[in-house]
Amino acid sequence: MYKIGINTSFLCKPYTGIGQVTTNVLREIMTRKNFVIGGKSIPSCEITFFLYIDEDVSFFDTALFKKHGGARFVPRKVSFWYKRNDLLRKWIFERFLLPHLAKKDQVDVCISLYQSSTVFPWWSKIFHLMVVHDIIPEILPEYRATARKRFFWKKIQRGIRLADRIVAVSHYTKQDIRTHYDLGDEKILVASIDVDPVFSQPIKQSNISSVRHHYALPKKYFFYAGGLEVRKNIRNVLYAYKSLLDKESLSETFPDFVISGTLLPHLKPLIVDVEALVHELDIEKRVHIVGNIPQNDLPVFYAEAFCFVFPSLYEGFGMPVLEAMRSGTPVITTKKTSLTEVGGEAVLYCDGTKKDILRAMEEMIYNPHMRKDLSRRGMEQSKLFSWKRFVDTLIGGVSIR
């Protein structure tokens, strides 16, 4: 009998990128009837998965986790006295409590589904595989501006270096890891993630009508989602849109702009105050800020959008681009970092400057044939990504000592 532990703590944050990865990896694992580990096919009935979480284990009682291919799943709630949801609590869970419980459960392998501070001593004989989505604090110092953030990032650096194997979600992230941590090729695998299956399901007209009415969506709109961080380049998007409005007709048929995201003041200066900027640019009548969108409503926002605009300056992968392509929505993005790996030849690229974002938006407006072609190519490009292939690499990358 093989025992595999998985850090599933992000199940309590299902609308984050890592939360979606956690949910969909578990969904895929639970349907498997066999796994290939170290080149050997192992029936699911011979594997027990221990699912470690520092929140309520009722997450595992949902219909999402009812179907499975024969493996045994054991939820493990990691309880401790420190209740505040901050970096200190996260570090205690990752570095001490999870390894302690994994050792107690005598797991052969532990999988961290995100870059973490978890470290297993060599004598534990637990093989540690870590998924690394990005190393943003290493690249952008503003993400480690406080003493607490610098402390925590040093612990994550150590976790990455000491993991037995790394799975990077893009070739760009792999190169970042190699550059900054001097790790060899043989230690780092690359496996692209996918998006939630909800983006592949047909949308009922009644759902479209309901979502449009609930959010008072304009008839025609550009759409932006994916966070309000400075690195996402939303500031230049709004400046470009302002220039577009100044140049073009202000008729009712001209696209408005819909922005998803919630302003979190405690994250300044890492985020853009979009409400203040929209007011400053005097474009409140054409820009609609809708806050965080529930996952079940999000496909409608993409599918009904005239175009998705995401000219980010740094991504470890770029999940919003893939969500838009899967929804059949033409995309404007940049060639920066990992985004070309996601978009391929199926998106319209810009350099991220105000001038070039404006140029790309105008192309979308005045070239309907290109927009239709990008929609078709985007849907084809999105088929290159699957949770099955990701889990094949993930589980195939572990080693039973």
DSSP string, 5-32: EEE-GGGG-TTSHHHHHHHHHHHHHHH-
Residues 56 and 168 both lie in one domain = yes
pTM of the model: 0.95
- pLDDT-derived band at 299 (thresholds 50, 70, 90) equals very high
Residue 38 lies in a domain: yes
CATH of residue 75's domain is 3.40.50.2000
Rounded to whole angstroms, how far apart are CA atoms 238 and 333? 14
- pLDDT-derived band at 66 (thresholds 50, 70, 90) equals low
Segment 279-295 shows an average pLDDT of 94
pLDDT of residue 266: 64
Q: Higher pLDDT residue, 400 or 346?
A: 346
Segment 146-164 shows an average pLDDT of 96
Residues 155 and 280 both lie in one domain = no
Condensed to tens digits (0 to 9), the pLDDT of residues 88-106 reads: 889 999 999 999 999 999 9
Within 10 A of 156 (CB to CB), how many other CB atoms are there?
Answer: 22
φ, ψ for residue 116 (rounded to 5)?
Answer: -140, 175
Residue 401 lies in a domain: no
Find, among 113, 137, 120, the residue nearest to 24 by Cα. 113
pLDDT beyond 90 at 46: yes
Least confident window among 11-20, 167-176, 183-192, 362-371 = 11-20
Q: Which long-range contacts (CB under 8 A, 24 or more apart) does 243-247 make?
A: 243/354, 243/358, 244/358, 244/361, 244/362, 245/283, 245/286
pLDDT of residue 58: 67
pLDDT of residue 263: 75
pLDDT of residue 86: 81
Q: State whether residue 197 is helix, strand or coil.
A: helix
Segment 50-54 shows an average pLDDT of 91
Tokens of 322: 């893939």
Residues 183 and 206 both lie in one domain = no
By CB atoms closer than 10 A (0-12, 13-18, 19+), residue 115 is buried
Residues 178 and 237 both lie in one domain = no
Residues 319 and 373 both lie in one domain = yes
For the chain, the domain total comes to: 2
Rounded to whole angstroms, how far apart are CA atoms 351 and 28? 36
Q: Higher pLDDT residue, 173 or 264?
A: 173
- pLDDT-derived band at 20 (thresholds 50, 70, 90) equals very high
Instruction: Tell me how far apart the 2 most distant CA atoms of the chain are, in Å.
Output: 70
pLDDT of residue 245: 92
Residue 89 lies in a domain: yes
Residue 111 lies in a domain: yes
Residue 287 lies in a domain: yes
Residue 264 lies in a domain: yes
Residues 6+ positions from 321 with CB-CB distance below 8 Å: 308, 310, 331, 333, 339, 342, 343, 347
Query: pLDDT averaged over the chain?
Result: 92
Tokens of 171: 């070739």
Within 10 A of 342 (CB to CB), how many other CB atoms are there?
Answer: 25
Segment 229-246 shows an average pLDDT of 96
Residues 290 and 229 both lie in one domain = yes
Rounded to whole angstroms, how far apart are CA atoms 122 and 127? 9
Residues 134 and 6 both lie in one domain = yes
Find, among 288, 284, 306, 276, the residue nearest to 216 by Cα. 288
pLDDT of residue 173: 98
Residues 110 and 21 both lie in one domain = yes
Integer-rounded Cα Rg, in Å, for the chain is 22
Q: Higher pLDDT residue, 267 or 132?
A: 132
CA dihedral 220, 309, 272, 243 (to 10 degrees): -70
Rounded to whole angstroms, how far apart are CA atoms 226 and 319? 8
pLDDT beyond 70 at 357: yes
By CB atoms closer than 10 A (0-12, 13-18, 19+), residue 328 is middle
Residues 96 and 221 both lie in one domain = no
Q: Higher pLDDT residue, 58 or 157?
A: 157
- pLDDT-derived band at 70 (thresholds 50, 70, 90) equals confident
Residue 355 lies in a domain: yes
Residues 201 and 189 both lie in one domain = no
How many Cα atoms sit within 13 Å of 351 on the Cβ side?
A: 5
pLDDT of residue 65: 62
Rounded to whole angstroms, how far apart are CA atoms 174 and 127? 20
Q: State whether residue 248 is helix, strand or coil.
A: coil
pLDDT of residue 78: 83
Residues 189 and 89 both lie in one domain = yes
Least confident window among 242-256, 270-284, 322-336 = 242-256
Residues 227 and 147 both lie in one domain = no
Q: Residue 151: which domain range?
A: 2-194+386-396
CB 92 within 8 A of CB 68: no
pLDDT of residue 175: 96
